[in-house]
Amino acid sequence: MGRYVIRRLLQAIPVLLGATLLIFAIVFALPGDPIRALAGEKPPSPQVVEVLREQYHLNDPLLLQYWYYISGVLFRGDFGTTFQNVPVGDLMKATFPTTLQLALTALMIQAVIGVGLGLWAALRRGKAEDTMILASTLILISVPTLVSGFVLQLLLGVKLGLFPIAGTSEGWYSFLLPGFVLAGGSIAYLTRLTRTSLVETLRSDYIRTAVAKGMNRRRVVGRHGLRNALIPLVTFLGADLGNLMGGAVITERIFNINGVGSLLIRGVYERQQPIVVGVVTALVLVYILANLVVDLMYAVLDPRIRYE
C-alpha cells in the first residue's frame, strides 16, 4: 500500500517535467512581443523594451530559456519573476491557499447539497419531490456562473446584506456565497449522479436480500446502498477539485478574490511564462494528488479493491 503510493508519486515526476516543457513551449509560441504588450496602447520607449528583453532572456532560443527557468526551479526553488520583477513563488503562495479554500468550500457545498438532494430524489423516485428536484437541477445546470454570480451578489449581498459583497476580509464566511456559485453546475450534476447510482444500487440483489432479512430501511439504504453508490461520486468529486481550482476565474472576478484562475489568465494574457508554467504545473500536481486520493478512497469504500 505504501509502496503503491510511492510508485504513483514517482510516476508523477516525468509527467510534471513534461508538462512544464510543453506549457513553456506553448506560451513561447504565442504571437507578439510580451514586453510591448505590457505597455498597453502607448508604445514603450525602445530602450526600455531592449533592456527588459535582455534582462528576461527573451532574445534567447526556447530551450535555453527553458533551461534558465527549470534550473532555477530545480536547484534553487526559484519559480522565476514576472516582467514587473515580482517573484512568481510569492504570487502562487498568495493565490493557491485562497483558491483552495474557495474550491474546498464549493466541494463541501456540492457534496452536502448534491448528495442530499440525490438521496432524497432516489428514495422518492417517481414521486412529486423527485420530479421537482430533477427539474430544478436542470435550471441550475443551465444558468451560467456569470449570471448566477452577479444575481446572487446583488440580491444576497447588496440588497439583503446577508453575505459580504466581495473580497475575502471576513474569512470563511466570505467564501460561502462564491463557493455556492462556483458549485452551482456541479451540484446539479452530482444530484443526478447520486440519484441514478443509488436507484441502480437499490435494485440489486443484495439489497433485496437485506430487506428480506428484515433489516431496517435506514441501515439498508445507508450501509448497503449509499456506500456502494458512492464510488462514482467520489471519482467525480476528485476530478472536480482540479476543475474548481483552475476554473474559478469568473467567480473569482465577480467576488474580487485574488485566486489562481485570475493569476493564470493574467499570465496567459501577458505572456508571462513563469506564471503560466508555475500555476499549470501546480494544478497538474493537484490533479495527480486528487486522483491518488480518489483511488485510495475506492479501497475504503469497497474492501474488494486492494493495492499492492
Q: Which of residues 241-260 bind other proteins (CB under 8 A)?
A: 252-256, 258
Candidates 20-28, 62-70, 119-127, 171-179: pick the segment binding other proteins (CB under 8 A).
171-179
139 vs 160, which CB is nearer to other proteins?
160
Size of the site for other proteins (CB under 8 A): 74
CB of 289 vs other proteins, minimal distance in Å: 7
Question: Position 163: which residue type?
Answer: F
Q: By CB under 8 A, tell whether 162 contacts other proteins.
A: no
Figure out which of the listed residues 23, 24, 69, 82 binds other proteins, where binding follows CB under 8 A. Answer: 82
Please state, in angstroms and rounded to a whole number, the distance separating the CA atoms of residues 200 and 230.
Answer: 12
198, 122 Cβ separation under 8 angstroms: yes
Question: Cβ neighbours of residue 175 under 8 Å, at least 6 residues apart?
Answer: 101, 102, 105, 168
Does the protein bind other proteins through residue 239 (CB under 8 A)? Answer: no
Q: Is 186 in the site for other proteins (CB under 8 A)?
A: no
C-alpha cell at position 308: 499492492
Q: Which of 96, 287, 254 is nearest to 180 (CA)?
A: 254
User: SS3 for 272?
Assistant: coil
Only segment of 89-97, 200-208, 223-231, 277-285 that touches other proteins (CB under 8 A)? 89-97
Cα distance between residue 83 and residue 89, in whole Å: 14
218/304 with CB nearer other proteins: 304
Q: Which of 20, 101, 197, 281 binds other proteins (CB under 8 A)?
A: 101
85 scored as a contact of other proteins (CB under 8 A)? yes
For residue 104, the one-letter residue type is L
Give the number of other Cβ atoms within 10 Å of residue 146's Cβ.
Answer: 13
- The span from the CA of 230 to the CA of 33, in Å, is 50
DSSP H helices in 247-301? 249-254, 260-269, 273-301
Say whether residue 29 binds other proteins (CB under 8 A): no
Site string for other proteins, 32-51 (x = CB under 8 A): xx--xxxxxxxxxxxxx-xx
DSSP assignment, residue 204?
Answer: S
- Shortest Å, Cβ 291 to other proteins: 12
The single-letter DSSP state of residue 84 is: T
Is residue 55 near other proteins by the rule CB under 8 A? yes
- Candidates 169, 212, 213, 214: give the one binding other proteins (CB under 8 A): 169
**Is residue 168 within the footprint of other proteins (CB under 8 A)?**
yes
